[in-house]
């Protein structure tokens, strides 16, 4: 019988994993359409389509042919670091998937599609109880999934590893606990301050003009519209179909241009990462994100550390003057800078400031971890939510849409996803610090409207590596120091203390 040599075997593996990735891209496109243009009555059939596609992907990644190719290749370092990465990550996907029966995979996909529609209805009607059965089913399915995958300490670790490889609940807590302790006094000092930034929502901003502004800023920072688009969704997101097809969404309100602009920049940061992968490795782990924490580091970096910086305001203000001249009569660059960096305890995570945002994430991390462990019943989530919100931020939600029903993530079955948001903030602070150490002239470039330096630096230190390095290793290689919350705390203090001092 003819036996393939190592190179031929590897090429056959590449062909197989790229085919599987095409199915995954198709599934992503179906999900994107569900959140943007799909008619409401299409929900049931879309759930079946997504379930079928998920089942097909599971069948392919767990196939005997994939297993044989992986066995024949071993770790094979002779093919180079890119091949080692693709083999290692495909083996991890195969091993993980083979532990989960196909019927559980299809049931999770079907449930998440239907549960997301139930969440929309429950949120609109302020009815957590109607959504609770779906949430209970979701958590139960994820418990079964975690049991299939296996774990050493807690089921949450098996789910977390899917989004942040090698992370654990204990490790997350070791970062989040000191971060919360540091942020509490900072929030308190700001709340007690007499400084009151201008309220930009007292003015109106034409929505079509807001869309033009968002597109102009995205283009300026490097997002390629020939390989992407910007649409509208209830909950802004980025869907990377492939490196040449990256879909961003935002939402618009007539009295708040900042919500749309910074949602676009946030999702644009994700989009720059997706467009920054090496096209030669398309549809392989070498052209995929290593973790959601690293992905989030890009959205938070571009939204906040670039978009809400003082130099950026020198670029943004003239753009606002051209588009919203009447509103701009009431503020200047300095008041704009303070306004877009206003700190105030608020109910909605996606609308919260850079500091309190992390407290929102920690709240969700603690709740989902407790629910999955069986320590907190689903029907008690609103009570636990309100207690933690009042403790952390001193405010109490008056209705579910301001509390436990505000996020879509749990309806999608994304348990273990939330901590990656604050991990992204921690990673982005490390990256921002290293970038500025390498390029002390960066602020001057931003004032002039040039973003080539940060984009090139991120491409070289983050994007091009795909899944070659684990998240912590990737960030530490780029920044030269171990992961800790200290750079984030330092960044926040250095930025916000001057704003809130008279």
Q: What is the CATH number of the domain that holds 362?
A: 1.10.1370.30
In a domain, 351, yes or no: yes
Same domain, 486 and 403: yes
pLDDT, tens only, 265-302 = 999 999 999 999 999 999 999 999 999 999 999 999 99
In a domain, 164, yes or no: no
Same domain, 122 and 222: no
Same domain, 51 and 190: no
- Confidence (pLDDT) at 416: 97
Same domain, 136 and 284: no
Say if strands 228-232 and 245-250 run parallel, antiparallel, or are unpaired.
parallel
Strand partners for 144: none
Same domain, 300 and 350: yes
**Could you write out the three-class secondary structure of 189-210?**
HHHCCCCCCCCHHHCCCCHHHH
Same domain, 183 and 319: yes
Instruction: Look up tokens 């550390």; give the residue.
Output: 305
Q: How many domains does the chain have?
A: 2
Contact 195, 337 (CB under 8 A): no
Same domain, 64 and 123: yes
Same domain, 290 and 413: yes
C-alpha to C-alpha distance for 255 and 219, rounded to whole angstroms: 24
Q: Answer whether residue 78 shows pLDDT above 60.
A: yes
In a domain, 159, yes or no: no
Strand partners for 256: 253
Contact 299, 269 (CB under 8 A): yes
Q: How high is the mean pLDDT of the chain?
A: 95
Residue 26 binned pLDDT confidence (cut-offs 50, 70, 90):
very high
Residue 208 annotated to the active site: no
- Confidence (pLDDT) at 52: 93
7-20 mean pLDDT: 95
C-alpha to C-alpha distance for 105 and 486, rounded to whole angstroms: 39
Cα-only R_g, the chain: 23
Contact 159, 146 (CB under 8 A): yes
Same domain, 107 and 188: no
Cα 76-102-295 angle, rounded to 5 deg: 60
Boundary residue ending a domain (150, 181, 207)? 150
In a domain, 160, yes or no: no
Q: Answer whether residue 459 shows pLDDT above 60.
A: yes
DSSP characters over 391-443? HHHS---SSGGGTTTS-SGGGGT-TT-THHHHHHHHHHHHHHHHHHHH-TTHH
In a domain, 1, yes or no: no
322-343 mean pLDDT: 97
In a domain, 111, yes or no: yes
Token readout for 289 is 């994100």
389-400 mean pLDDT: 95
In a domain, 163, yes or no: no
- Confidence (pLDDT) at 1: 43
Same domain, 144 and 254: no
189-208 mean pLDDT: 94
Instruction: Look up tokens 């709740």; give the residue.
Output: 367
C-alpha to C-alpha distance for 130 and 414, rounded to whole angstroms: 19
C-alpha to C-alpha distance for 44 and 475, rounded to whole angstroms: 42
Q: What percentage of the chain reaches a pLDDT higher than 70?
A: 99
Token readout for 45 is 């059939």
Residue 19 binned pLDDT confidence (cut-offs 50, 70, 90):
very high
Cα 239-361-178 angle, rounded to 5 deg: 130
Token readout for 124 is 């609109």
- Confidence (pLDDT) at 3: 56
Boundary residue ending a domain (80, 115, 150)? 150
Contact 497, 190 (CB under 8 A): no
N- to C-terminal Cα separation, the chain: 82
Which range of residues forms the domain containing residue 316?
169-499
Same domain, 128 and 222: no
307-319 mean pLDDT: 97
C-alpha to C-alpha distance for 286 and 442, rounded to whole angstroms: 29
Choosing from 107, 162, 164, 267, the catalytic residue is 267
Token readout for 441 is 């002239």
CB-based burial, 147-171: b 16+ in 10 Å, e otherwise = ebbebeebbbbbbbbbbbbebbbeb
Same domain, 115 and 173: no
Q: Answer whether residue 185 shows pLDDT above 70.
A: yes
pLDDT, tens only, 32-50 = 999 999 998 998 999 899 9
In a domain, 350, yes or no: yes
- Confidence (pLDDT) at 502: 64
Token readout for 285 is 């782990």
């Amino acid at each position: 019988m003819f036996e393939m040599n190592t190179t031929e075997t590897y090429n056959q593996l590449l062909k197989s994993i790229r085919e599987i990735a095409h199915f995954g891209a198709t599934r992503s496109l179906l999900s994107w359409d569900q959140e943007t243009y799909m008619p409401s009555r299409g929900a049931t059939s879309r759930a079946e389509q997504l379930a079928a596609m998920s089942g097909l992907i599971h069948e392919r990644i767990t196939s005997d042919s994939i297993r044989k190719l992986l066995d024949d290749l071993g770790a094979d370092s002779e093919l180079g670091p890119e091949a080692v990465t693709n083999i290692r990550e495909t083996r991890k996907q195969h091993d993980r998937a083979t532990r989960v029966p196909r019927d559980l995979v299809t049931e999770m996909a079907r449930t998440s599609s239907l549960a997301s529609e139930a969440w929309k209805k429950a949120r609109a009607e302020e009815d957590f109880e109607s959504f609770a059965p779906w949430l209970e089913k979701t958590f139960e399915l994820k418990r079964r999934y975690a049991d299939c995958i296996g774990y050493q300490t807690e089921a949450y670790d098996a789910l977390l590893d899917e989004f942040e490889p090698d992370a654990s609940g204990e490790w997350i807590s070791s970062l989040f606990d000191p971060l919360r302790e540091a942020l509490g006094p900072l929030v308190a000092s700001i709340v007690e301050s007499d400084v009151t930034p201008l309220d930009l929502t007292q003015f109106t901003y034409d929505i079509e003009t807001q869309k033009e502004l968002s597109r102009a800023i995205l283009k300026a920072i490097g997002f390629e519209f020939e390989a992407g688009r910007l649409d509208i969704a209830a909950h802004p997101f980025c869907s990377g179909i492939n490196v040449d097809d990256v879909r961003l969404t935002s939402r618009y309100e007539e009295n708040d241009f900042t919500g749309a602009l910074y949602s676009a920049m946030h999702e644009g940061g994700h989009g720059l990462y997706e467009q920054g992968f090496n096209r030669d490795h398309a549809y392989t782990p070498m052209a995929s994100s290593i973790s959601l924490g690293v992905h989030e580091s890009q959205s938070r970096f571009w939204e906040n550390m670039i978009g809400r910086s003082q130099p950026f305001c020198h670029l943004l203000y003239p753009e606002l003057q051209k588009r919203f001249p009447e509103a701009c009569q009431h503020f200047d660059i300095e008041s704009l800078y303070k306004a877009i960096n206003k700190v105030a305890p608020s109910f909605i995570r996606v609308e919260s400031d850079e500091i309190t945002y992390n407290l929102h994430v920690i709240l969700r991390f603690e709740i989902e971890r407790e629910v999955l462990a069986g320590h907190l019943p689903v029907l008690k989530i609103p009570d636990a939510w309100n207690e933690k919100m009042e403790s952390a931020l001193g405010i109490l939600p008056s209705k579910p849409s301001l509390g436990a029903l505000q996020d879509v993530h749990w309806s999608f079955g994304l348990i273990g996803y939330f901590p990656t948001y604050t991990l992204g903030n921690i990673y982005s602070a490390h990256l921002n610090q290293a970038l500025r150490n390498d390029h002390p002239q960066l602020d001057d470039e931003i004032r002039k409207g040039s973003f080539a330096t940060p984009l090139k630096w991120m491409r070289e230190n983050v994007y091009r590596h795909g899944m070659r390095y684990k998240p912590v290793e990737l960030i530490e290689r780029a920044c030269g120091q171990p992961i800790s919350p200290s750079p984030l705390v330092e960044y926040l203090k250095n930025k916000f203390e001057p704003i809130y001092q008279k």
